[in-house]
């Protein structure tokens, strides 16, 4: 039907949702359908609407242009598993103990001045998830793609998803056979089946589609590789294979949007688009500092928008938001309830999205990482680790990082003026995080540090510990 509609001019090649199609079918339900698209390792600057000068994302850009774009959106961790645990649980990492992929002790151990806190690879089964809340609100819940939150004993089917198809990464040999880069088109087909079944049964749906794209190993169809190989490189971006993979992903999302049009549910379907963490060093995120794994902006700031013209106001906002906000937002939109004993760290954005109220401030955002990540990257703090044990907070325009090696071993509070235990940036004036204001603005530093320390105490946060015998101390 999508092909026919294009032929008669009702559907554009860019897969733009067409309000007129909604007359073809009675409204499915008063509750909105919600489709959450999570891209793997897509950096903040990797789309057209966020400023790439080489990659092409016409479908994504079209949705963003008529949705609510969040210019200062964050993943709540610098890499995959902990970010997803925050999204699914609506909680910062200390509440479920998922801090890293596999373990928190990655890198040259002789240079680790502290003993990392052990990592939890599985999202606890007693964690009340976004899927369980939506299921309890009367929704069909479906997930297909990269779960990355546990083994078969902690599968998405056991944590609220009524339809769950957990995909494994596709090898290059498999890609040669399927010509389906990162399985993105088959993942979309499975989600389409879930959507059609939900519509046929008259149930609102919550669909979670965490793509394997655009994570390495990079895969793309040859026609787009050839196209981008012949395109003039941009000043920011120039990777033909990565560009081709992103364009394939855009096409896959277009196929999904076409189906929503065809079913006549566009007025009642909210699409959320974001990434699980920042980009990798091969694709510039300038002017942001750092990349995936870091807690600098390049590691945690991500593209994000909410789309549904019939319900959500178009525009953009500089309100800092994070993926912990999805849980309270979609449950609020669904008219659901959150158990009284469930502690959420996110806030509902429904009022802002629906144009019911202005939001210019939000509660403090926290990132906590009690370990070490290897593979140092450009823009990192040192040449040995991407990230050392630390806690980060963002309050208003200010961002403070507390580094535990210097804090616990080099004098703590009393030596804070000299031991380099903190970094302080004003992101409004310095989004590149190049000018540490810890010494120039000690009153702001100390006030934020005191608030952070209180948060750590109040939440009994997991901490690294002092080694009985310290290894070598890395030079800065």
Domains in the chain: ranges and CATH:
2-91+127-353 (3.40.720.10), 365-466 (3.30.1120.10)
Q: How far apart are CA 81 and CA 147, in angstroms?
A: 8
Q: How far apart are CA 100 and CA 92, in angstroms?
A: 13
Q: Spell out the residues 6+ positions from residue 387 whose beta carbon is closer than 8 angstroms to its own.
A: 78, 293, 294, 295, 299, 369, 372, 373, 380
Half-sphere exposure of 166 (CA within 13 A, CB side): 15
Entry pTM = 0.92
Per-residue confidence of the chain (476 residues) as pLDDT tens digits?
A: 333 232 223 333 334 444 433 443 444 458 999 999 999 999 999 999 999 999 999 999 999 999 999 999 999 999 999 999 999 999 999 999 999 998 999 999 999 999 999 999 999 999 999 999 999 999 999 999 999 998 777 899 999 999 999 988 999 999 999 999 999 999 999 999 999 999 999 999 999 999 999 999 999 999 999 999 999 999 999 999 999 999 999 999 999 999 999 999 999 999 999 999 999 999 999 999 999 999 999 999 999 999 999 999 899 999 999 999 999 999 999 999 999 999 999 999 999 999 998 998 999 999 999 999 999 999 999 999 999 999 999 999 999 999 999 999 999 999 999 999 999 999 999 999 999 999 999 999 999 999 999 999 999 999 999 997 654 544 43
């Amino acid at each position: 039907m999508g092909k026919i509609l294009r032929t008669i001019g009702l559907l554009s090649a860019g897969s733009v949702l067409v309000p007129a199609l909604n007359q073809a079918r009675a409204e499915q339900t008063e509750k909105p359908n919600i489709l959450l698209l999570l891209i793997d390792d897509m950096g903040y600057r990797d789309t057209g609407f966020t400023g790439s000068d080489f990659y092409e994302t016409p479908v994504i850009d079209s949705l963003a242009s008529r949705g609510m774009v969040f210019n200062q959106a964050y993943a709540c961790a610098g890499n995959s598993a902990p970010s997803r645990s925050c999204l699914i649980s609506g909680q910062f990492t200390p509440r479920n103990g998922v801090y890293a992929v596999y373990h928190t002790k990655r890198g040259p151990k002789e240079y680790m001045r502290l003993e990392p806190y052990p990592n939890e690879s599985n999202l606890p089964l007693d964690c009340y998830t976004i899927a369980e809340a939506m299921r309890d609100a009367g929704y069909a819940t479906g997930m297909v793609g990269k779960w990355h939150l546990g083994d078969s004993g902690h599968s998405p089917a056991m944590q609220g998803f009524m339809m769950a198809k957990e995909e494994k990464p596709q090898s290059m040999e498999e890609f040669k056979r399927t010509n389906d880069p990162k399985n993105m088109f088959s993942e979309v087909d499975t989600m389409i089946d879930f959507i059609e079944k939900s519509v046929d049964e008259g149930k609102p749906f919550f669909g979670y589609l965490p793509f394997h794209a655009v994570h390495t190993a990079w895969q793309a169809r040859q026609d787009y590789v050839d196209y981008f190989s012949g395109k003039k490189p941009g000043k920011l971006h120039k990777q033909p294979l990565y560009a081709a993979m992103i364009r394939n992903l855009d096409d896959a999302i277009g196929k999904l949007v076409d189906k929503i049009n065809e079913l006549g549910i566009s007025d009642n379907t909210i699409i959320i688009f974001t990434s699980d963490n920042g980009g990798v060093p091969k694709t510039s995120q300038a002017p942001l500092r750092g990349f995936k794994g870091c807690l600098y902006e390049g590691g945690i700031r991500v593209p994000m928008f909410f789309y549904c013209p019939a319900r959500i106001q178009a525009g953009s906002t500089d309100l800092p938001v994070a993926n912990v906000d999805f849980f309270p937002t979609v449950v609020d939109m669904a008219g659901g309830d959150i158990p009284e004993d469930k502690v959420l760290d996110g806030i509902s954005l429904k009022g802002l999205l629906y144009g019911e109220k202005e939001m210019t401030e939000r509660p403090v955002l926290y990132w906590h990482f009690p370990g070490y990540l290897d593979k140092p990257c450009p823009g990192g703090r040192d040449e040995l680790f991407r990230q050392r044990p630390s806690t980060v907070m963002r309050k208003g325009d200010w961002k403070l990082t507390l580094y535990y090696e210097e804090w616990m071993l080099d004098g703590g509070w009393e030596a804070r003026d000299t031991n380099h235990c903190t970094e302080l940036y004003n992101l409004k004036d310095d989004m590149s995080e190049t000018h540490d204001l810890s010494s120039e603005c000690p009153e702001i530093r100390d006030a934020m540090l005191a608030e952070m320390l209180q948060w750590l105490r109040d939440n009994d946060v997991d901490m690294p510990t002092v080694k009985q015998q310290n290894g070598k101390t890395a030079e800065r």
